Amino acid sequence: MKLSLSSVYTPYSFPIILKSYAFSNLCKPFCSSALSSSPPISLKPQVPLFLRPPIYSTKFCDFKKWHDWAKGIASSIGSTFVNSDNGPDSSILCRELKWLMEDAVEDHSLFSKMGFENYDERVKMRVGIEELYDLWKERIEKRRPFQYVVGCEHWRDLVLSVQEGVLIPRPETELIVDFVCDVVSKNEDLKRGVWADLGTGSGALAIGIGGASGIGGRVIATDINPVSVAVAAYNVQRYCLQDKIEVREGSWFEPLKDIEGKLAGLVSNPPYIPSKEISGLQAEVGRHEPRVALDGGIDGMDYLFHLCDGAALFLKPGGYFAFETNGEQQCRALVDYMKNKRSESLCNFEIVADFAGIQRFVIGFHH
């Protein structure tokens, strides 16, 4: 199966601006600011809220007024979102509100004073109070994911920048880093080799395995989406891993042609949701996250099969792979596929459950 740009982009409602930009394909992401006359989206990644300078100042009473307003809205939601699409309830929204305050306000000791009425002090913030109103409105009314509101997601021990156009890394995927740490701790050859994270999104898996596993070799992260490439590169730099992790723009294995048959390890959390399920997704996911990162085709397996085919070609003998799937059905279908079609190169397949007990991952080796 060969993927081209058009086959990935055309069926979906990916933002028009990005689409034309992707097709223009003129420059590497970090040069984009030089082309300010091109489409009005900058590929300079957004700085997460918690990293912005605290240059705004607000009276405490105004901040408290905002807080009480925001909390009131969160409480009024009750289980409305839960009933409509299994979205967040009031308690989750209140927790998010607390986290938003932590990211927006410089001095966290303030939060213990929220009960006082006439606390005569100014609050230093990383965002203006008007924008705080807008941000919370977007969270509630538009169901904009909390992670896009604050521009980051806490994942393992990392805080990764995320923004519209980039999949928010999921807690399930954290486990793949543990698998890799485990396998490289027992295998010097894998530890020294080159690893790849395909469809890296925010760069979570690449940074997770590059930083935590003691991998001595390089990690190459690929993504077809230029926004993801820019954000992943930003996150790599934030963790000072640019010498170890290289982010390449392109579809799946295309940017890896120079290392065909040489990869020590391959990890991926590809789009795996069956197309017909996209419309029924929780609003935060379905309305806001990039469809290219979610939609895995009719049965959700298009890219998983492609990854298996690529693993057979690109892994070196003894190489390791770990893929995330939609669940038990996909895991089984994938293992069946590899046993029937790729058994001359791939072996030792195993299905591993996530922390909620869902058969989530397929792992295995190259002969």
Partner 1 sequence: MAHKLIWKWKPTFMLPLTFNSQSKHVIRFHHHPFSSLKIHHPINYTTTAAAAANTSNNGDCVKAKEFLELTDEELVRQCEMDFLKSSGAGGQHRNKRESAVRLKHLPTGIIAQASEDRSQHMNRDSAVKRLRALIALKVRKTVDLDAYSPPRELLQILPPKSTVRGSEIGPQIGPKNQKFALGMQALLDLIFAVEGSISEAAKYIGLSTGALSRLILSDDSLRKEVNDLRASKGMKPLK
Residues 273-292 touching partner 1, rule: CB under 8 A, are 273, 277, 281-282, 284-285, 289
Which stretch, 26-34, 105-113, 234-242, 333-341, contacts partner 1 (CB under 8 A)?
Answer: 105-113
Do residues 232 and 247 make contact, with C-beta atoms less than 8 angstroms apart? Answer: yes
For position 66 contacting partner 1 by CB under 8 A, the verdict is no
Q: Given candidates 117, 120, 141, 157, which one binds partner 1 under the rule CB under 8 A? A: 157
For position 79 contacting partner 1 by CB under 8 A, the verdict is no
Token pair of 299 as six digits = 């049965």
**Residue ranges in the chain assigned as alpha helix (H):** 5-9, 16-24, 60-77, 80-85, 90-104, 129-141, 146-150, 174-185, 188-192, 204-212, 226-238, 283-286, 302-314, 328-341
* Location of structure tokens 């609050």: 123
In Å, how far from its chain's centre is CA 299?
A: 22
When the beta carbons of 109 and 118 are compared against partner 1, the nearer one is: 109
Q: Given candidates 151, 271, 297, 319, which one binds partner 1 under the rule CB under 8 A? A: 271
CA pair distance 161, 98, nearest whole angstrom: 19
For position 294 contacting partner 1 by CB under 8 A, the verdict is yes
For position 314 contacting partner 1 by CB under 8 A, the verdict is no
For position 324 contacting partner 1 by CB under 8 A, the verdict is yes
Residues 180-239 touching partner 1, rule: CB under 8 A, are 182-183, 186
For position 357 contacting partner 1 by CB under 8 A, the verdict is yes
When the beta carbons of 13 and 112 are compared against partner 1, the nearer one is: 112
Which stretch, 189-197, 259-267, 309-317, 324-332, contacts partner 1 (CB under 8 A)?
Answer: 324-332
Q: Given candidates 171, 214, 216, 318, which one binds partner 1 under the rule CB under 8 A? A: 171
Angstrom distances, CA of residue 175 to CA of 40, 182, 361: 38, 11, 9
Name residues whose C-beta falls within 8 Å of residue 123's C-beta, 6 or more positions apart in sequence: 57, 58, 59, 60, 63, 105, 107, 110
* Residue 323 neighbours by CB distance under 10 Å: 25
When the beta carbons of 159 and 259 are compared against partner 1, the nearer one is: 159
3 state DSSP class of 215? coil
Q: Which residues bind partner 1 (CB under 8 A)?
A: 86, 88, 91-92, 94-99, 108-109, 111-112, 145-147, 154-158, 167-168, 170-172, 174, 178-179, 182-183, 186, 269, 271-273, 277, 281-282, 284-285, 289, 293-294, 324-327, 350, 352-358, 360, 363
